[in-house]
Amino acid sequence: SFEFADRVERVEPSATLAVSNLASELEADGVDVVDLSVGEPDFPTPENIVQAGKDAMDAGHTGYAPSNGIPQLREEIAAKLQGDGLDYEADNVVVTPGAKQALFETFQTLVDEGDEVVLLDPAWVSYEAMAKVAGADLKRVDLSPHDFQLEPALDELGEVVSEETDLLVVNSPNNPTGAVYSEAAMEGVRDLAVDNDVQVISDEIYQHINYGKEHVSLASLEGMYERTVTINGFSKAYSMTGWRLGYLAAPEEVVSQAGKVHSHSVSCAVNFVQHAGVEALQNTETAVNEMVEAFDERRQLLVDLFDEHGVDVPEADGAFYMMVPVDEDDQTWCTEALEEAHVATVPGSAFGAPGYARISYAANESRLREAVDRLVDAGYL
């Protein structure tokens, strides 16, 4: 028999999986499930990106790539980041198979057994798991009472962050809430991080999926470049979830340490996928804007539909998620909504926000209407 390492035993399986397993079972029985649980755009990858991937394969880019990424992509990423007011050069970038891997490498690089990591709840499920695998002690600040905004919670954050804190994770636009943190909120984070000498992960994977509020990259604020690891990727903005392409950007000392975890685990991100990534960064603005516009229309449609039924959802300025207030026992609400109304959502408690269900509006308008109708007909709204 096996003897498992503590680092895996202290991690729970993904709570979102329970929903998708149940949804799959229902679907296998022939039930039409409206699945609003998935965190992936429903659009195909833009054609020019697909073509660039095929061309790269035809051109023979099918071997190992340089571990930290092909030079063209690292340069293109650096240029993109510089356009956002960030000082990164190509040497500051590690290209990874998905932002998730970039985050995993960052936790492995910065967190030791017993280190204090602060999360803002609700938080994407994998931060906790990655922090625990690295051995962190977690502290959490709940943004739920503040409509999921960070600015009104800065005092509470200030009570939690101390000189004992090693790492703070910030994710704006946010999964699961869609919140985009204000400039004042980010400046508050900066002040706390600088005063207490705290390292910060800024996960900006939903940066482009923003409905008009200014996106603030933490590393662009004074005093933050040298303590921030910026995470971004291609999955959400370019609808490239299955290609697995993301990156971290950080001062060179971080790159050389994280680069060791990277080269000894994944070796490199897929070679031809990286070539497709260059095309995505160079020539996809129109397609991205069209997708964002479509998300925005759905977002407004949902707000209106919920409003018609007297359900007030906190304003979501980014990403493609919304937190719908449901019963206190959100796990039961979500299970029953799936079993009886055949609408799949994710319980807020999976993200540290009980009493809500996260819905993803990466689904077309008729499915969204169908979902709300079903929830209303079955008495859930």
What residues line the site for ligand PLP (CB under 6 A)?
39, 98-100, 124, 171, 175, 203, 205, 233, 235, 241, 246
State which residue, 175 or 274, has the beta carbon closest to ligand PLP. Answer: 175
To ligand PLP, the closest distance from the beta carbon of 329 in angstroms equals 25
- Nearer to ligand PLP by Cβ, of 246 and 352: the residue is 246
Residue nearest to ligand PLP (CB): 98
CA distances from 222 to 89, 165, 197 (A): 18, 20, 14
By C-beta, is 141 or 375 nearer to ligand PLP? 141
Return the number of the residue (172 or 305) whose C-beta is nearest ligand PLP.
172
CB 319 to ligand PLP: min, Å: 8
Considering the complex, what minimum distance in angstroms separates the CB of residue 141 from ligand PLP? 17
In terms of CB distance, is 225 or 238 closer to ligand PLP?
Answer: 238
Write down the least CB distance from residue 87 to ligand PLP, Å.
23
Task: Name which of 236 and 342 has its Cβ closer to ligand PLP.
Answer: 236
Given the complex with ligand PLP, which of 220 and 239 has the nearer CB atom? 239
CB of 205 to ligand PLP, least distance (A): 4
Residue 380 Cβ vs ligand PLP, minimum distance, rounded to whole Å: 25
Tell me the closest approach of the beta carbon of residue 2 to ligand PLP, in angstroms: 28
